[in-house]
């Protein structure tokens, strides 16, 4: 294992945290999982022809897309659960706000991207923060975004039931500013990002990971050696005429 020298978290803790995330990563997909929500062979046919790809390439892309969708949640947990190691009153509760510091009266909702909340979700989150301020008159509530439009710590203004609301103690904060607040190092998030490939290399070497198990092709071949036909039979095998496809 390399020396990471992040300063705000020990080498062993960040290694274990990254390892925990990697071990929860989805790295396999089979035909049942591939078709769990019923694939659309017509859409895949358009994709293959419009992009000049083989059906095998399109299936591989769709498999990776499905795996990636599952793993997006794990990245959210990676960002959130890192603050279990912060100390100084910071904690990741099992329910309620994503991150809290009761000593400092700070309550955090953590989002990966600035555009992942729709209007209803934004309203719900804002009302939750308003309620917390009413309950704790020293509370500071933060919507922390990993991928924000820019580095910021600003008053969060949003619309609730058609009316614009804002409050000095309801903040919209980019992750770099939040790391600076938590770890008292304005470059802490940058340091983590810079060192992350090295940590991941150490973890991958330790657990011998680094590949995807994809059995979709072999299972489709059991249906028919013609991949195009297999895709359509997977979705439409009970439809009229598809016994002649």
Neighbouring CB atoms inside 10 A of 243's CB total 9
Strand-pair category, 163-174 with 153-160: antiparallel
Q: How many CA atoms lie within 13 A of 168 on its CB side?
A: 2
Alpha helices (H) along the chain: 11-24, 31-34, 41-50, 55-81, 119-135, 175-183, 188-207, 216-223, 227-236
Of 150, 75, 59, 160, residue with least CA distance to 111: 75
Q: 2: which residues sit within 8 A by CB, 6+ positions away?
A: 11, 198, 199, 202
What averages of pLDDT result for each successive group of 10 residues across the chain (245 residues)? Answer: 91 95 88 85 91 88 86 90 95 95 96 76 90 94 94 89 84 96 96 95 83 80 80 87 84
* CA gap 203, 74 in Å, rounded: 16
Widest pairwise Cα distance in the chain: 71
- What pLDDT score does 34 carry? 85
Domain boundaries along the sequence of the chain: 11-207
Provide the Cα torsion 143, 104, 195, 177; round to 10°: 50
Containing H/E element for 87?
none
Cα separation, 13 vs 36, whole angstroms: 37
Identify the bridge partners of residue 164 per DSSP, sorted by sequence position: 159
Per-residue confidence (pLDDT) for residue 213, from 0 to 100: 83
47 and 229 Cβ atoms separated by less than 8 Å: no
Q: In this structure, are residues 233 and 46 in contact, taking their beta carbons and an 8 Å threshold?
A: no
Calculate the CA 234 to chain-centre distance: 30
Task: Give 207's strand partners.
Answer: none
What pLDDT is attached to residue 65? 86
Q: Any bridge partners for residue 183, and if so which? A: none
Structure confidence at residue 17 (pLDDT): 96
CB neighbour burial string for 209-228, b if at least 16 within 10 angstroms, e if fewer: eeeeebebeebbeebeeebe
Predicted confidence at residue 116, as pLDDT, reads 67
> For position 36, what pLDDT does the model report?
84
Cβ 200 vs Cβ 18: under 8 Å: yes
């Amino acid at each position: 294992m390399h020396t990471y020298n992040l300063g705000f978290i020990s080498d062993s803790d960040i290694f274990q945290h990254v390892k925990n995330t990697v071990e929860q990563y989805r790295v396999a997909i089979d035909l049942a999982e591939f078709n769990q929500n019923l694939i659309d062979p017509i859409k895949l046919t358009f994709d293959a022809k419009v992009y000049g790809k083989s059906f095998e390439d399109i299936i591989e892309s769709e498999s990776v897309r499905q795996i990636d969708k599952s793993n997006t949640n794990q990245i959210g947990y990676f960002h959130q659960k890192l603050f279990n190691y912060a100390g100084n009153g910071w904690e990741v509760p099992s329910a309620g706000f994503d991150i809290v510091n009761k000593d400092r009266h700070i309550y955090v909702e953590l989002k990966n991207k600035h555009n992942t909340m729709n209007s209803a979700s934004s309203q719900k989150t804002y009302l939750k923060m308003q309620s917390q301020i009413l309950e704790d008159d020293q509370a500071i509530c933060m919507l922390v975004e990993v991928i924000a439009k820019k580095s910021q710590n600003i008053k969060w203004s949003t619309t609730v039931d058609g009316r614009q609301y804002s409050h000095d103690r309801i903040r919209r904060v980019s992750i770099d500013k939040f790391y600076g607040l938590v770890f008292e190092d304005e470059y802490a998030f940058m340091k983590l990002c810079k060192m992350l490939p090295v940590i991941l290399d150490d973890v991958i070497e330790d657990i011998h990971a680094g590949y995807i198990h994809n059995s979709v092709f072999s299972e489709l071949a059991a249906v028919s050696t013609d991949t195009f036909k297999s895709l359509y039979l997977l979705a439409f095998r009970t439809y009229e005429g598809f016994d002649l496809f």
